[in-house]
Amino acid sequence: MYTGKIRQILLITDGCSNQGEDPIAMAALAREQGISVNVIGVMEQDVIDEKGMTEIEGIAMSGGGVSQIVYAQQLSQTVQMVTRKAMNQTIQGVVNRELQQILGRSQTIEDLPPEKRGEVMEVVDELGETVELEVLILVDTSASMKHKLPTVKEAIIDLSLSLNARTGDNQFAVFVFPGKKNDVEKILDWTPKLQSLTSIFSQLTTGGITPTGPAIRTALSSFNSKRSLRSLMTGDDESFLEESM
């Protein structure tokens, strides 16, 4: 029944944006396009300030995704958990809509008696295993992130290990912000494998500003250009995409 893809942006940051558009608005824009935005806030010993925290939660909320604040050491595990959880959320959203169509009312999984939920859950699990997944990873490379970058790299490669254990296909792309010349720089184009990231990451330079909003906006256009390319090749792809969120 569900042939669409799941599209996610995974934002890894350690604080507040300070340049360009409001990232919360950009996350809402993403959601409108059927792309969920998940945020991971990385701490060291320092605690993320109130303002940064509010922004992180705000982005995830308006982006229809999940957010989590972690210490750098626990990053790998959290990245996979957040991605999986967000994926299940999206699938559940779709399943809920299907249920509403069948049952005709504002029924969701939660409105079913617990005994009946089990079967629905099996469908959700099955989809989580087989659905095509596109994750665009957006890494904050502002100065304060510098010494956390090796851990971030590990976590991203680890994520590909987790997701590639699924039966369904995965596509990853990695963007960093701020880039060398622009606000955002693409360092790895859509690919199912992330191993090549190791060499790229060691050459990264960190910069001063944190243009989170523009970064999300640019990330969206990357999904879009991919979409138009795909739809040129396979024509009917577009109809699935409308359904993907």
Partner 1 sequence: MMMNHSLKSRCKVAPGTVIIGKWHSNKYTVLKELGYGANGIVYLAKFKNTQVALKMSDNGMSITSEVNVLRSFAKVQGSTLGPSLLDVDDWKSNRGQISFYAMEYIQGPDLLTFLQNKGKSWTTVLFLQLLNDLNTLHANGWVFGDLKPENLIVTGPTPRIRCIDVGGTTLQGRAIKEFTEFYDRGYWGLGTRKADPAYDLFAVAMIMINTAYPKRFNKTIGGISQLREAIKKQKDLLLFEKVIVKALQGQYTNALQMRTELMSLIIDKKNHDTLNKSAVTNTNSTMQKQKINQSGMQQPKSRQTYRRKRKKNRWMETIIITIFLALLYFLYIFQKLL
Smallest distance, Å, CB 134 to partner 1?
Answer: 17
State the DSSP string of 108-165. -GGGS-HHHHHHHHHHHHHHHHHSEEEEEEEEE-BGGGGGGHHHHHHHHHHHHHHHTT
Q: How many residues in the shown chain lie near partner 1 by CB under 8 A?
A: 41
The one among 143, 161, 229, 238 contacting partner 1 by CB under 8 A: 161
Closest CA to 79 of 215, 172, 168, 15: 172
- The neighbouring-strand residues paired with 173 are 136
Window 70-89: contact mask with partner 1 (x via CB under 8 A) = ------xx---x--xx--xx
- Residue from 33, 164, 171, 206 in contact with partner 1 (CB under 8 A): 164
The CA angle 22-189-134, to the nearest 5 degrees, is: 70
Least distance to partner 1 from the beta carbon of 177, Å?
Answer: 22
The β-bridge partners of 137 are: 10, 174
Least Å distance between CB 15 and partner 1? 17
In the complex, the smallest distance separating the C-beta of residue 193 from partner 1, rounded to whole angstroms, is 13
Asked if residue 117 binds partner 1 (CB under 8 A), the reply is yes
Cis peptide before 150 (omega within 30 of 0): no
Residues 14-73 that bind partner 1 (CB under 8 A): 57, 60-61, 64-69
Half-sphere exposure of residue 160, counting CA atoms within 13 Å on the CB side? 20
Q: Which is nearer to partner 1, 154 or 185 (CB)?
A: 154
Query: Least distance (Å) from partner 1 to the CB of residue 170?
Result: 10
Nearest to 23 by CA among 67, 62, 50, 51: 62
* Lookup: tokens for 83: 């991605």
Among 21, 44, 98, 158, binds partner 1 (CB under 8 A): 158
**Under rule CB under 8 A, residue 138 binds partner 1:** no
Q: Alpha-carbon distance 58 to 28, whole Å? A: 10
Tokens of 167: 């039966």
Residue 133 in contact with partner 1, rule: CB under 8 A: no
- 67/218 with CB nearer partner 1: 67
Closest distance of CB 124 from partner 1, Å? 7
Binding site for partner 1 (CB under 8 A): 57, 60-61, 64-69, 76-77, 81, 84-85, 88-89, 92-93, 96, 108-110, 113-115, 117-118, 120-122, 124-125, 129, 158, 161-167
